[in-house]
């Protein structure tokens, strides 16, 4: 999603707002109904639609398995076979989408090369996000699967506390270097950066559910509302209050993709 807002309606009672900093992945043959609650002729909703071949997806998975293999207990990098997949991403990924659009609209001789690199990076980011979601699922349902899943479970259970790297090393029974290596291979970030990401993801969920920004700030472990608001905007490109307002926009029209 580039700008504006949609509300998506799919199978199995799937209903969800679709905003910038989010991607919606559909399997071949799937359909979705779309409401446009804010779009006007002067301010249209815009999104980037990409059709990606299975061969391209397999190529990126193979590269990840070669260069950044998952721990044996977690298997290999593979896309999950959900009919639809709703992913939230960071400001960096949003800027990547803008660059892909700009490259597509350009007439440079190396446009195809730049587009291919951009799509590869986008798929890598989305696979890592999917891998993080899978790891969180394992941490909740089978935390003893690996030292990493147990550490992720511990982080989620203690998000409001002051977590330091030595404490996490004791939980994982790993050295600092090994713990950082495991996190970077699976999450694409170090453990302390992951903690901040999880706090902001939890904050986004609470705000979307209607909780106040101030209460959310303290509930996810921040002590300064102003610092929390800055980090939230850096992560998602909008302030917490702007995000809360986006969740409340009325639905006025419907279309089908």
Q: What is the pLDDT along the chain (257 residues), one digit of tens a residue?
A: 888 888 888 877 778 888 887 888 887 778 888 999 888 888 888 888 888 888 888 899 898 888 888 777 777 888 766 556 777 777 788 888 888 888 888 888 888 898 899 999 988 888 888 777 777 777 787 877 888 889 999 999 999 898 999 999 999 999 999 999 888 888 888 999 999 999 999 999 999 999 999 999 999 999 999 999 999 998 888 899 998 988 775 444 444 44
Domain boundaries, the chain: 6-256
Question: What's the rounded Cα separation, in Å, for the pair 10 and 14?
Answer: 5
What burial class does residue 161 get, using C-beta atoms within 10 Å of its C-beta: 0-12 exposed, 13-18 middle, 19+ buried?
exposed
Q: How many helices (H) and strands (E) does the chain have?
A: 10, 6
Global pTM value: 0.72
Which of 1.10.10.60, 1.10.150.530, 2.102.10.10, 3.90.1200.10 would CATH assign to domain 6-256?
Answer: 1.10.10.60
Question: Which DSSP category does 3 fall into?
Answer: B
């Amino acid at each position: 999603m580039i700008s504006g807002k949609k509300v998506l309606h799919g199978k199995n009672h799937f209903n969800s707002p679709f905003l910038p900093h989010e991607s919606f992945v559909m399997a071949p043959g799937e359909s979705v109904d779309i409401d446009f609650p804010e779009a006007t002729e002067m301010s249209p909703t815009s999104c980037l639609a990409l059709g990606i071949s299975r061969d391209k997806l397999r190529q990126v998975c193979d590269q990840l398995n070669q260069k950044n293999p998952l721990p044996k207990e977690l298997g290999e990098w593979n896309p999950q076979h959900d009919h639809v997949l709703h992913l939230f991403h960071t400001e960096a990924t949003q800027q990547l989408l803008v660059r892909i659009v700009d490259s597509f609209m350009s007439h440079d001789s190396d446009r195809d090369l730049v587009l291919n690199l951009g799509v590869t990076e986008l798929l890598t980011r989305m696979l890592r996000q999917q891998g993080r979601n899978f790891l969180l699922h394992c941490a909740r349902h089978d935390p003893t699967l690996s030292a990493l899943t147990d550490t992720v479970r511990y982080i989620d259970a203690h998000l409001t506390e002051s977590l330091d790297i030595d404490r996490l090393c004791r939980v994982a029974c790993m050295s600092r270097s090994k713990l950082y290596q495991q996190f970077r291979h699976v999450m694409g970030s170090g453990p302390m950066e992951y903690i901040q990401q999880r706090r902001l993801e939890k904050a986004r969920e609470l705000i979307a559910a209607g909780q106040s920004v101030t209460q959310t700030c303290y509930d996810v472990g921040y002590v300064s509302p102003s610092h929390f608001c800055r980090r939230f905007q850096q992560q998602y490109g909008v302030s917490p209050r702007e995000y809360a307002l986006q969740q409340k926009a009325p639905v006025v029209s419907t279309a089908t993709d």
